[in-house]
Amino acid sequence: MPRKNRTLPHTPFRFTTNCQKKRRFSSEREAKEAADYQMALKPELELTTYKCELCGGWHLTNAGKK
């Protein structure tokens, strides 16, 4: 009796960047307003903005404690 083929079907590779998982802002002003709002809700946060080289938009990042 022949063996059954139990290999999984092929799933094609999808290239994803971290930008696709993050909130994107079209301007630095929008990003700063969102950061200020989030820091008002949670005072322990220190958020800064940065311009993304991949998508050209603006994202938020945690500045961390020093």
- Torsion angle of the four alpha carbons 14, 16, 22, 23, in this order, in degrees rounded to the nearest 10: -70
pTM over 0.85? The answer is: no
- Virtual torsion, Cα 19, 25, 29, 33, nearest 10 deg: -100
What is the structure's pLDDT at 65? Answer: 57
Give the residue extent of every domain in the chain: 23-54
Q: What is the mean pLDDT of each run of 10 residues along the chain (66 residues)?
A: 85 82 93 96 93 92 73
Whether residue 31 contacts residue 59, with contact meaning beta carbons closer than 8 Å, is answered with yes
Structure tokens at 28: 């630095």
Look at residue 17 in the predicted model and tell me its pLDDT.
Answer: 76
Q: Helix, strand, or coil here: 33?
A: helix
